Amino acid sequence: MLDAARIRTDFPLLRQQENKHRIVYLDNAATTQKPQAVLDALANYYRTTNANVHRGAYDLAIRATEAYEAARSRVARFVNAWAPEGVVFTRGTTEAINLVAGSYGRANVRAGDTVVVTAMDHHSNLVPWQILCQEKGATIRMVEITEDGRLDLSDFGRALERRPKLVAFPYVSNALGTINPAAQLARLAHAAGAVVLVDGAQSTPHLRVDVQALDCDFYALSGHKMLGPMGSGALVAKPALLDAMPPYHGGGEMISRVWDDHSTYNQLPHKFEAGTPNVEGAVGLAAAIDYLEGIGLDRIAEHEVALAGAAIEQLSRIEGVTVYGPRDHRAGVVSFTYGDIHPHDIATILDQDGVCIRAGHHCTQPLMRRLNVAATARASFYVYNDRDDVTALTTALAKAGALFGYVPA
């Protein structure tokens, strides 16, 4: 286990109280808190380095550009990208997926084609494909899940028989915590002739990612879920694919020469980065990566698995509690319900003890339908959580049980 109490001292927000209790922040699948090192990187960028990138001829602008491009290389090394120019900075996973749908998808998906997604995809890896398929007259094929919340591999195989143009899936489910066999899925999809997009929003923060080993084609990630700033993120892609794709947004920076009625476009990755980018976000994301690698991704994964295991073990002992998702090969996301207590009521009750969890459909309405629930309560762990937080969760949950008559008050 990590020394979470020591790590917490690096996070100013976690020193404050919620409802007169020590804050127990268990909504890390939604967003994470930021260490002082990231806050300093953001402030220092504006104090010492701020200028517009890729255009100034003066030293300050050159330093800003260097900081931005160094952040790109940092992200590239972190996920073992094919090349730094295969890292396109975006506002996050959602924009990265929309970029692929709007550029690669629009250029390559035609009427009658199939795009494969899964029943555990976040809306951000579903709705962009729905929009694309509706525009093109193509079809969405959703791969089913098994009883224990894994991807149904035989149904995945059946979906591939349609020779889909593109296959999209999450590496880690944000609602169930399932870790999908991403490399195996990518291999199967490639064998069926599809291009593969992996939603890495929940995997990048929590386990060591090597996109070349996964051998996907596109990989999307969000900075704010891995201690970085909101509005930071990236699309990591094979440069040859990006090179062949039409631009996504038009504007400054993405062009080479502009005529009255047409333009030529900049080289990678700038072709996909129209307008002044979020340099502060990129710099902050690089600082977050430094912080995470200082701890070690393998140790982080091990820590979260231990906490999720403890949470599942303790929750399962409470009569009336149902825990969703697989019991092993999973990440630190634990979804549950408690009798007929609505998750929203659970979240209100837990909040009174300073325990912050998510209640709702987790942007996975098709998944909720399959689980036969309108919503779940979700606790998700990160580097600054420890076993005391698991205990705080179950202690507060006992109060919910008492209020709703499940256990004596």
For other proteins, the binding residues (CB under 8 A) are: 340-345, 348-349, 352-353, 359-361, 374-375, 395, 398-399, 402-405, 409
Q: How near is the Cβ of 59 to other proteins at its closest, in Å?
A: 48
Q: How near is the Cβ of 393 to other proteins at its closest, in Å?
A: 13
Q: Peptide bond preceding 269: is omega within 30 degrees of 0, i.e. cis?
A: yes
Starting at the earlier edge strand, list the strands of the sheet with 376-380. 321-324, 333-338, 376-380, 358-360
| Contact status, residue 79 vs residue 203, Cβ threshold 8 Å | no
Any idea what the Cα angle at residue 209 is, between residues 205 and 212, rounded to 5°?
Answer: 150
Nearer to other proteins, 165 or 362 (CB): 362
Q: How near is the Cβ of 25 to other proteins at its closest, in Å?
A: 17
The H-or-E segment that residue 309 falls in is helix 297-316
The H-or-E segment that residue 358 falls in is strand 358-360
Q: How near is the Cβ of 229 to other proteins at its closest, in Å?
A: 24
Nearer to other proteins, 128 or 343 (CB): 343
**Residue 251 token pair:** 């504007």
SS3 content of the chain, % helix, strand, coil (to 5): 45, 20, 40
What are the Cα distances from residue 110, in Å, to 115, 126, 197, 246, 406?
Answer: 10, 18, 18, 16, 54
Tally: H helices and E strands in the chain: 15, 17
The H-or-E segment that residue 140 falls in is strand 139-143
Nearer to other proteins, 111 or 402 (CB): 402
Q: How near is the Cβ of 241 to other proteins at its closest, in Å?
A: 35
Nearer to other proteins, 53 or 349 (CB): 349
CA 118, 121, 125, 129 torsion-angle sign = positive
Q: How near is the Cβ of 320 to other proteins at its closest, in Å?
A: 14
Burial (CB count within 10 angstroms: exposed 0-12, middle 13-18, buried 19+), residue 46: exposed
Burial (CB count within 10 angstroms: exposed 0-12, middle 13-18, buried 19+), residue 161: exposed
What are the Cα distances from residue 246, in Å, to 100, 211, 263?
Answer: 10, 23, 12
Q: End-to-end CA distance of the chain: give it in Å, rounded.
A: 34
What are the Cα distances from residue 352, in Å, to 135, 153, 261, 381?
Answer: 47, 42, 60, 19
Nearer to other proteins, 141 or 361 (CB): 361
Q: How near is the Cβ of 174 to other proteins at its closest, in Å?
A: 16
Nearer to other proteins, 83 or 374 (CB): 374
Q: How near is the Cβ of 366 to other proteins at its closest, in Å?
A: 14
Nearer to other proteins, 132 or 350 (CB): 350
Examine the residue annotation and report whether 363 is marked as an active-site residue of this protein: yes
Nearer to other proteins, 20 or 47 (CB): 20
What is the DSSP code string of 47-91? III-S-TTT--SHHHHHHHHHHHHHHHHHHHHHT-S-GGGEEEES
Indicate which residues carry an active-site annotation. 363
